[in-house]
Amino acid sequence: MVENNHSTDESGEFKRSLSHFDDRITSDGSSAWPVEPGRYRLVVSKACPWASRMLVVRRLLGLEDALSVGVTDPIQDEKSWRFTLDPGDIDPVLGIHYIAEAYHKREPDYDGGISVPAIVDIPSGELVTNDYLQMTLDLSTQWKRYHRKGAPDLYPEDLRPEMDAVIDRIFRQFNNGVYRAGFATSQVKYDRAYTDVFECLDWLEERLTGQRFLMGDTITEADIRLFATLVRFDPVYHGHFKCNRNKITEMPALWGYTRDLYQTPGFTDTVDFDHIKRHYYVVHSDINPTGIVPDGPDLSVFATAHGRERLGGRPFGDGTPPSAR
């Protein structure tokens, strides 16, 4: 989550900061950080949509043994993301209490935002990257040697030009749009963000009415990026971020699509509604000063029949679903 890595400008508009640490882990050794199984640790919060995308991609590609994961508490304190879910409040691999320690090991004078997902070099304890826009793409393209047998191609070369355009629109209007609405401090900026969110949802509803996934018959990177925001929309963004024209459950194609993905192996086990709801409603005290976490909505509906099989398609293409965990 990069909420503590943003600002609201004088006009009242939410501004998301660029990733300060944008190094890449590459297969050909062209970067300072070569791909090496077991060398790096991925740090996530299950509350965070950007981090959840990494968890889905890692599961679908079968990289669990190559890239370990540390999970932070969904509730941050003044030092940001902390490892209070682990014995002794210490990540068992990195030996630190806060992911901020890896940031400062890399750059002692760093005073910017502390965000997840983040990848840490285990031997040195230094942060490698917090570039949430690039990380999933690199798991698909740079870590191929360590993909499981039957791993799907989530970023096919022939689809990349169109997919990149779809991803860009979803990011600007929807992934980031809900934050622009939720953190806006002026009516004008909120109205603009609200309009963007629902223009994008209407476009997606139309696109997904006649095809099972965003790029056609198989799951791709674009679907994973969209899913992470969709699955949080009714429980959080609809009320908490004032994106309340309608719920996803009221949009037939998008609601069926959301359940289709949610029930797909590799997606379901990365979603933690408890972490999601507690993070947003407790941490955002400027939006929800009481810290009360709503009891609803009824989350059992995510497991109901979606009917998207009628559109055909093969979710994993020529690949296979990941094994149960």
Which domains are assigned to the chain? 3-13+40-146 (3.40.30.10), 157-311 (1.20.1050.10)
C-beta separation of 43 from 126 below 8 A: no
CA dihedral 271, 272, 275, 280 (to 10 degrees): 40
Q: What is the pairing mode between strands 33-34 and 25-26? A: parallel
Tens digit of each residue's pLDDT, the chain (325 residues): 444 445 565 666 766 666 789 999 999 978 889 999 999 999 999 999 999 999 999 999 999 999 999 999 999 999 999 999 999 999 999 999 999 999 999 999 999 999 999 999 999 999 999 999 999 999 999 999 999 999 999 999 999 999 999 999 999 999 999 999 999 999 999 999 999 999 999 999 999 999 999 999 999 999 999 999 999 999 999 999 999 999 999 999 999 999 999 999 999 989 999 999 999 999 999 999 999 999 999 999 999 999 999 999 999 999 999 987 7
Which residues fall within 8 angstroms of residue 157, CB to CB, at 6 or more apart?
none
Q: Which of 72, 17, 80 is nearest to 43 (CA)?
A: 72
C-beta separation of 211 from 217 below 8 A: yes
* Model pLDDT, residue 2: 40
Q: What is the distance in angstroms between the CA of the first residue and the CA of the last residue of the chain?
A: 25
Alpha-carbon distance values, 173 to 38, 99, 199, 286 (Å)? 37, 29, 8, 23
Rounded CA-CA distance 172/170 in Å is 6
Active site residues: 48, 179
Rounded CA-CA distance 218/224 in Å is 11
* Model pLDDT, residue 244: 98
Rounded CA-CA distance 239/83 in Å is 29
pTM: 0.95
